[in-house]
Every structure is written in structure tokens, then in C-alpha cells.
Amino acid sequence: MRRLAYPLAALTLASASCQRTDGLYPVSGRVTYRGVPAAGAAVFFNRRGGDPMAEHMVMGVVRDDGTFELVCGALGKGAPPGEYDVLIDWRPAAGQGGGRPRRGPDRLKGRFADPKHPRLRASVGREATAIPPIELAEPG
């Protein structure tokens, strides 16, 4: 259960940031690291060229089998159509502190979480979209 605390907090933030759209379309994918599911990693879709503070926050959490589905806060599953930078942050639980779970460092060393230098991109159309599998490279 502790492992889900960080992703659940991120989903709460997504709820606060997501506004009305012209429609949401289902988006799913799979994330692995060295061929193993990146369970617990947070996957964020940021609209390319947009202002992250003014744009919709769209994200998903990688399940134990490596799959994820995007959600747009209280509006539900899916993402608005458009071009996105994809950011991934993978912070395993590092214990308990002050009554809250503490998160460890990003297992990917921030390599896939820099919004100024995104390494991954995706397109969401006006239909269900299956993102090609993402195999995360060894951090340098």
C-alpha cells in the first residue's frame, strides 16, 4: 500500500489541474526497465509547447504488469487529443516518516523527468490510443 501513496498523491494533483476539454480519448501503454515492468512509476503527459501551469495534467501509474492508463483528474480516463512530451518519474517507497510515506530517489535519476529536455513523445488522436511500449534505458 505504501508503494501507491506517491502515485495516488499525483493523481490528486491531476484532479485539481484538469479542466474541461473537447473530449477525452482512452490512452494506454506499457513501461519496462531492463525488460521488467516499471511498477509504481508515474507517467505524465504534458502538451507540447503548452504552459504546464495552464494546461491539463494527464497522468497514469504503471501497474505490476507494466501497463498504465491515463486519467485526466475528475473528468476520468483518457487524454485530450494532441502532441505530448512524456515524463516518467519512478520513486520507490523508502519507509515511513512523520506519518507519511517517504519516497526514495528517482530510480531513473531524473533522466526521463526533465520537462525542459523530454526524451519521449506521444500523439493522442480522437480515438483510443495504444502508446508503443516504452523500454527505459539504463541511466548514465
pLDDT confidence of residue 9: 47
Please give the domain boundaries of the chain with CATH numbers for all domains: 2-135 (2.60.40.10)
Q: In whole angstroms, give the CA distance from residue 8 to residue 100.
A: 13
pLDDT confidence of residue 75: 80
pLDDT confidence of residue 8: 46
Beta bridge partners of 86: 45, 120
In order along its 140 residues, the chain shows pLDDT tens digits of: 444 444 544 544 444 445 445 689 999 999 999 999 999 999 999 989 877 677 767 999 999 999 999 999 778 899 999 999 999 999 976 655 566 666 788 999 999 999 999 999 999 999 999 999 999 976 45
How many angstroms separate the Cα of 46 from the Cα of each of 1, 37, 77, 111, 129?
27, 22, 16, 16, 16
Of 84, 70, 59, 63, give the one whose Cα is nearest residue 25: 70
Beta bridge partners of 85: 46, 121
Q: Which residues contact 10 (CB under 8 A, 6 or more apart)?
A: 42, 44, 59, 61
pLDDT confidence of residue 5: 46
**Residue 61: all three cell numbers together:** 501509474
